[in-house]
């Protein structure tokens, strides 16, 4: 182990000398320090005598990915970890704007039915020659359209404003992702990566919008329909952290552990052992159906005579 660690130190010293990397806050120096640290972690785990548990396997994957990404940065002399430019913001799009998008979607979904009842305009809809299921389905489809519109609007705004402030040169820098299935580092165009990110986040957005839509229909109270999904979203990360840290097995059926499909990308390991992309898809579909069935039943039977 000591010999392997010394080899890494020698390799790092040679890279610093050959590439003339100075100590300081330069991105190459940061990449070199990270590469050295993560390479030693990978060697330490690989040379260990015992079998890794699931948490250690995930930590090993994280170190392996960081090692390969920072190796690429050093070899190609490109600041791939930069965050304060258009590419960096688009790469972390949902970290930057996720809450804003969710608030917009929940406000629309949480009022699209309840406000019709509150203002009495629901009567004008129900006198149309369409059954109630078609009317409610049309509103639900509208929520889906607004999800797409909200995402595209924020992306367009970021491209316009970010481009004016930072310029567009950074968009040519690829996003790096380590593929654990093939064992190779992949370079991805920023817009392709953003598209992948949007797809992986859609289940979360759809489920939160559906919850707001269901509450709006069931309770006819806009405040309740908006508050419940937002509270659920804000408490989800804390619940997920507690579940993962304490390895609460039965909680892997909880929706917030399954609605983010980003962790399944490139052959990575999910949050808990026994989970898979298929498993999470089924869980999300079950929650979606459970919310929609009572919503349509209640709407169909709602009495509007006193509205």
Which one-letter DSSP state was computed for residue 302?
-
Average pLDDT, the chain: 92
Question: Domain for residue 81, yes or no?
Answer: no
Per-residue CA distances from 279 to 92, 206, 248 (Å): 26, 17, 17
CA angle 121, 126, 131 (to 5 degrees): 150
pLDDT tens, 233-264? 999 989 999 998 888 888 899 999 999 999 99
305 pLDDT more than 80? no
Residue 216's domain comprises 86-301
Range scoring the smallest mean pLDDT among 108-117, 124-133, 264-273: 124-133
User: Which of the listed residues 76, 106, 134 is the one where a domain comes to its end?
Assistant: 76
Query: What is the tally of structural domains in the chain?
Result: 2
CA–CA separation, 223 and 132 (whole Å): 24
Looking at per-residue pLDDT, the higher value among 128 and 160 belongs to 160
Q: What is residue 170's predicted lDDT score, i.e. its pLDDT?
A: 93
Asked whether residue 55 falls in the same domain as residue 186, the answer is no
Q: Is residue 115 located within the same domain as residue 54?
A: no
Please write the tens of the pLDDT for every residue from 20-60. Answer: 888 888 899 999 999 999 999 999 888 876 788 888 899 99
Q: Which of 200, 255, 201, 261 is nearest to 232 (CA)?
A: 255
Evaluate if residue 72 carries a pLDDT over 90. Answer: yes
């Amino acid at each position: 182990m000591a010999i392997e660690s010394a080899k890494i130190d020698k390799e790092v010293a040679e890279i610093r000398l050959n590439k003339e990397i100075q100590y300081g806050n330069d991105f190459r120096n940061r990449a070199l320090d990270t590469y050295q640290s993560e390479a030693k972690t990978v060697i330490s785990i690989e040379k260990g005598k015992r079998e890794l548990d699931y948490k250690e396997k995930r930590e090993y994957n994280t170190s392996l990915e960081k090692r390969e990404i920072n190796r690429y940065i050093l070899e190609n002399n490109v600041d791939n970890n930069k965050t304060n430019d258009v590419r960096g913001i688009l790469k972390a799009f949902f970290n930057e704007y996720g809450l804003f998008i969710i608030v917009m979607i929940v406000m629309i979904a949480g009022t699209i039915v309840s406000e019709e009842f509150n203002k009495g305009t629901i009567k004008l809809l129900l006198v149309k020659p369409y059954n109630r299921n078609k009317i409610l389905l049309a509103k639900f489809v509208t929520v889906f359209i607004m999800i797409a519109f909200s995402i595209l609007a924020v992306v367009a705004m970021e491209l316009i404003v970010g481009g004016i402030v930072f310029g567009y040169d950074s968009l040519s820098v690829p996003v790096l992702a380590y593929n654990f299935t093939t064992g190779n580092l992949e370079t991805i165009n920023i817009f392709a990566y953003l598209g992948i990110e949007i797809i992986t986040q859609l289940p979360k957005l759809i489920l939160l919008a559906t919850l707001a839509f269901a509450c709006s229909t069931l309770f006819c109270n806009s405040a309740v329909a908006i508050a419940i999904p937002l509270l659920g979203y804000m408490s989800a990360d804390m619940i997920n952290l507690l579940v993962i840290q304490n390895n609460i097995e039965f909680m892997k059926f909880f929706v917030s552990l399954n609605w983010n499909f980003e962790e399944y990308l490139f052959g990575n390991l999910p949050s808990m052992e026994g989970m898979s992309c298929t498993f999470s898809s089924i869980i999300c579909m079950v929650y979606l159906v459970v919310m929609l069935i009572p919503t349509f039943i209640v709407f169909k039977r709602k009495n509007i005579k006193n509205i």
